[in-house]
Structure 1
Amino acid sequence: MSDLGRVLRLDARRTALLVAVPLLAGIGVVTVWLSLVPGVAYWDNSVVALVDSVRTLGPVAAGIAAWAAVRERRLDYLRDLTARSPATGVLLDLLLLSAAALAAYAAVTGVVVAATVVRHNAGDAHPLGIAAGALALVLHVVAGYLAGRAAPHRATPAAVVAATALWALLRGPGTSWWSLLPPAALGHVELFTGLRTGVQADQALWAAGLAAALILGYVMWLTRRWPLAVPLVLALALAVTATVRLQATDGRAVADDPVALACREWPLRTCVHPSLRSALPTLIAATTPLAARLNGTPGAITRIEQRPASVPASVASGVALVHLDDDLRPGYGTRAARELRDALTRPAACSAASAQRIRSREYKALVDAWLLDEGTPPIADAYAARRFKSWGERARRSWLRAHYARYRNCTLTARDFRPATAFSPRPVRPGIARGPRTGPFKAGPFGTGPLKTRARAVRPGAPRPGLPGAKPPALRDPARSSR
C-alpha cells in the first residue's frame, strides 16, 4: 500500500505541469498580436493569426512535453510495482500535457476573438481553422513526449525544440503543398479572398490521424497488444488520405470570396470591403474634390468601389474602381485618389519618349497637382504655370471640360494656356475671311461664280454704291448714239 501511495502522489505531482499554461499563453498572445493586421477585422486573418501562434507554441509545448517525459522516465520502476498497465502512466501524462497546451491555446483564441469582434469584423469564423490549430498543438505535445520517452537524455528537450522549430520555419507560405501540413504556413489573406474550408478540414484530419497513430504505435509496442494494429492502420490511412488531398491543392489555401460591399451614399456613393468601414470617411474626403472637378467631363465620377489588387484601377461610365491597403497605412486615402487620377489618362499615350510628349507631361503634371490640391510643380513654361495658377476654380473647371481629351491623351501644348484658346471648346483654325454672298452661284466656263444681276438705275449725281464720293459717268445722248 505504501508503494501504491507513492505512485498516486507521483501522479498527482504531475499536475505541476499546469504552470506551463501561463508560459504558453503569454507566448501565444504575443505571437498572435503581432500577426493580427492592424485596423482590419477579417475573420480569415484571425484564423491565420491563430495558426501562426501554433507555429511558435508548438515547439515550446513539444520541448516541455519532452522534458516531462525525461524526468518521469527515471521513476518508471515505481509504476511497475502496481497492477496498472504500463501504458496508463503514459496516457495520463499525455492527457495532462495536452490539457495544459489546449488551455493556453484557448486563452490565445479568446484574445483573437475579442480583438476581432470589437472592431468592424467581416467574413465568418471557421471552426475548422481553430480545430486544426488545436490538433496541431496536440500533435506537437505527443511527438515531444514520445521522443523524450524513447531517448531519456538531458539533451532531448533541446533537440525536440530545434527539430520542431525547423519544421515550422523551413516551410514558407505558398511555396508548395508542404507548407499546408500542420502547423500550416499561411500568408496574409487578402481582402475579397478567403481560406478554403476543405484545406482546413484536411489539416485537422492530418494532425488527428498522425497523433493517434503515434499514440497507438507506442502503446502497442509497450503493451504488446497486437490488436491495436487495426486502429493504428486506420489512423495512418486517415493521415495519408489527408496528405493526398493537401497535395492536390498545389499549395493554394485561399480562393476568391466575393462579399457585399459596405457603402455610404453622401456626398459621393463610396463602397469598400465590410472590414474597412472605418476607412469610408477618409476615403470620401480624399476623393470628393477630385470628383467635383471632373464633373461635366467624360471622366466624371458618380460612384467609387473598392476592388482587389487583381482588378486594375479604372474610371468608366461614372464608376471608379480603386484599391485600398489592407492594413490601412497612413495616407491610404491620398494614395487612392492618386490612383483614380492616374486612371483617367492613357498610359500608352503618356509614356512616349518624344520631346513633345515630355513637354505635354509637364503640362499634365500642372493639372494633376490642381486635381488633388497639391503644390504646383515647376515646369519649363513659366508663363503657362503663372496663367493657370491665376485662374479661379470655376475657370479651371471650364478649362478642363474644354481640354479633357488633350489632358487624357497627354497632348497639351503651350497654346492651350494662351488667352485666345484657353476656354474655347474648339480651337479657332486660321483662314481667309469671306464676305457675304451677293447672289446664287452657278457653274460657268471658268468655274463657279455669282450670277449676273441687272444693274439698278442710278440717279444722276448720286454716288455709286461701294465707291464713296465717286460721280457717275455722263449719260450718252440718244440722238447722237443713233447717228
Structure 2
Amino acid sequence: RRAGAAAGGPRGGRCRGSRCPPGAPPVSDLGRVLRLDARRTALLVAVPVLTAVGTAAALPGLCLSAAYWDNTVVALVNAVRFLGPVAAALAAWAAVRERPLDYLRDLTARSPATGALLDLLLLSSAALVSYTAVTALVVAVTLAQAEAGHPHPLGVIAGAGALVLHVVVGYLTGRVVPHRATAALAFGATAMWAALRIPGVSWWSLLPPAAFPRIDLFTTLRPRVFADQAAWTAGLTAALILGYVLWATRRFLLVLPLAAALAATGAATLGLQGSDPAAVRAAPAPQACRHWPVTVCVHPALRDALPRLMAAVVPLAARLNGTPGEFTQVRQRPGWAPVSVADGVAFVHLDEDLSPGYAARAARQISRALKDPRACAAGSSAGYPALVDAWLLDDEPPSIADARAARRFASWTERGRRAWLRRHFTRYRTCSLGPADFRPVRAGKHRSTKHARRGTFDRTAPPT
C-alpha cells in the first residue's frame, strides 16, 4: 500500500488479478504510468517526423503555375506512398517498446487486447494529425494561386485511410514479432508494396497507397475510385484489427465481422479493377477570357497566362487579318484535341507549368496549323514559308537559298507585306511559293475588301 501511495495510486490500493503476488504494489497504476511514458516518447517523435516527410513528398507534386484541385488531391494521395512506410516503422518501433509492459497488463482485469487497441488509437491519431497538417499546407498553397476545379473530400479520406492502414500493419507486426529489427522490416515491406505502384500502368496502381499520374486540365478523377479506395482500406484495417483481437482473446464470435470486413475488401478490389480504364474522365470547364483586341480564353487554372498569350497572338492575328486564315478568337484546347484554325477561331495547346516561352509556342502552333500538312510534306518550297513565318511570329528571318527574294521581302513595309500575304495566302498555305511570288507590291493595291475588317485591331479602342 505504501508503494502504491508513492506511485500515485489510491490509499489502500490493491492488485487486481489472481496472479498478483502477496504484498506487491498496485501494478495496474504503475503500469498505466509506464505505458503513458512510453507512448509520450513515440508520439513526440511521430508527429514532427511524419509531418516533415509528408510535406516533402506532397509539395513537389504540385505545379505552382496551375493550381488544379485534382492535382492537389493526387499529390496528397501519392504522398502516402512515402509517408506510409515511415508511419509503419514508427508504429512497429512503438509496439516493440510497449512489449515489455505486457506482464503488467496481464495483471489487470481488462482484456488482453485493450492495451494494444489503445496504442493503435493513439498512434493513428498522431499519424492523422500529421496528415491534417500536410493537407492544410497543400490546400493553402493551392488557395494562394488561381485555383480551378473542385476538391475531392473522398480523396483526402482515402489517403488518410491508407495512412492508418500502414500504422496498423506496422504496430501489429511489432506485437507479433517483438524484435529490434521489426521496425526496419515493417519499413522495407511497406516501401516495397508502395514501390510496386507505377502511375497509369494498370489497376494495380489504384490499390492503396495509390499512385495516380498527373491529371491534365479538362479532365478529372471519378469519385468512385476514391470511394473504392476508402472502402478497401477500411475493410482491410478492420480485418487486421479483428484478426488480432480474435487471436489475443479467442472470442470466435468475431469471425463473422472478420468475414464481413474481408468481403468488403474483396468487393472494393473488384471495383478498383473495373474502374481502371475509366479512372479519369473529361471535365469541361468554363474558361477564363480576355476580349480585347482579340478574344483569348484559357482554362481557369491558367488565367495568369492571359497577358503574355494576348501579347503573342495579337500581332499574328493582325497580320492574318483579311486572309482565309484570319482569326479573332484564341481558345485553349485539351491535349488530346488537335490544334486548328477555322471559322475565325484558333485552338491551341498550353503548357500546364507555363514554362518560359509558352506564349511563343502557342503562336507557332497557329502558324503551323495554317498550312496544309500533306501539301507541305510533298512539295519543296526552298524555305519561302519559313521566311513568311519569321515575319508572322516576329522571329529572326532565316537564311534561304534565294537571297534576292529575302532582301526584297525584308524591304517591304508592314502594310505591303500584309497586302502581299492576302494575295499569296493559298500558295503560302500549300508551301508552293516561288521566286516569282516575291515581286514588288505597292501598299494597298491588292487590299481585299471582302475579308478586311476595320477597327478589329484598333489598339486605341477601349477594352471591354
Same-fold status (TM-score > 0.5): yes
Q: 1:270 aligns with which of 268, 293, 296?
A: 296
What secondary structure is seen at the aligned counterpart in 2 of 1:321?
A: strand
Provide the residue aligned with 1:42 in structure 2: 68
Q: 2:341–2:347: 8 Å Cα contact kept in structure 1?
A: yes
Please state if 1:201 is matched with 2:222: no
Q: 1:16 aligns with which of 30, 33, 41?
A: 41
Report the more deviating stretch, 290-299 or 232-241: 232-241
Q: Which residue identity lines up with residue 404 of structure 1 in the other structure?
A: F
Q: Which residue identity lines up with residue 241 of structure 1 in the other structure?
A: A
**Counterparts of 1:423 and 1:382, CA distance in 2:** 25
**Counterparts of 1:89 and 1:341, CA distance in 2:** 71
* CA shift for structure 1 position 421: 10
Provide the residue aligned with 1:433 in structure 2: none
Please state if 1:316 is matched with 2:337: no
**Counterparts of 1:382 and 1:198, CA distance in 2:** 63
**Counterparts of 2:34 and 2:261, CA distance in 1:** 32
Q: Which residue identity lines up with residue 259 of structure 1 in the other structure?
A: A
Structure 2 unaligned residues grouped into runs of 5+: 1-13, 15-25, 448-464
Provide the residue aligned with 2:4 in structure 1: none
Q: 2:339–2:348: 8 Å Cα contact kept in structure 1?
A: yes
Provide the residue aligned with 2:453 in structure 1: none
**Counterparts of 2:58 and 2:81, CA distance in 1:** 10
* CA shift for structure 1 position 16: 2.4
Distance change in 2, residues 1:251/1:70 (3 Å):
farther
Q: 2:112–2:249: 8 Å Cα contact kept in structure 1?
A: yes
1:272-318 alpha-carbon deviations (Å, 9 max, x no partner) = 00111111111101111100000000000111110111100000010
Scaled by the length of structure 2, the TM-score of the pair is 0.89
**Counterparts of 2:244 and 2:193, CA distance in 1:** 22
**Counterparts of 1:419 and 1:117, CA distance in 2:** 57
What aligned pairs does 1:66-465 form with structure 2 within 5 A after superposition?
66-250=92-276, 252-352=278-378, 357-358=379-380, 360-419=381-440
Distance change in 2, residues 1:393/1:98 (3 Å):
same
Distance change in 2, residues 1:54/1:251 (3 Å):
farther
Q: Which residue identity lines up with residue 350 of structure 2 in the other structure?
A: L
**Counterparts of 1:133 and 1:58, CA distance in 2:** 10
**Counterparts of 1:291 and 1:212, CA distance in 2:** 63
* CA shift for structure 1 position 213: 0.5
Provide the residue aligned with 2:30 in structure 1: 6
Scaled by the length of structure 1, the TM-score of the pair is 0.85
Distance change in 2, residues 1:126/1:115 (3 Å):
same
Provide the residue aligned with 1:449 in structure 2: none
**Counterparts of 1:272 and 1:150, CA distance in 2:** 56
Of all paired residues, the percent bearing the same amino acid is: 61
What secondary structure is seen at the aligned counterpart in 1 of 2:296?
A: strand
**Counterparts of 1:26 and 1:248, CA distance in 2:** 35
* CA shift for structure 1 position 73: 1.5
**Counterparts of 1:40 and 1:233, CA distance in 2:** 45
**Counterparts of 2:183 and 2:158, CA distance in 1:** 25
Report the more deviating stretch, 160-169 or 186-195: 160-169
* CA shift for structure 1 position 83: 0.9
Q: Which residue identity lines up with residue 206 of structure 2 in the other structure?
A: L
Which structure's CA Rg is the greater one? Answer: 1
* CA shift for structure 1 position 32: 1.0
* CA shift for structure 1 position 167: 1.0
What secondary structure is seen at the aligned counterpart in 2 of 1:271?
A: strand
**Counterparts of 1:37 and 1:168, CA distance in 2:** 23
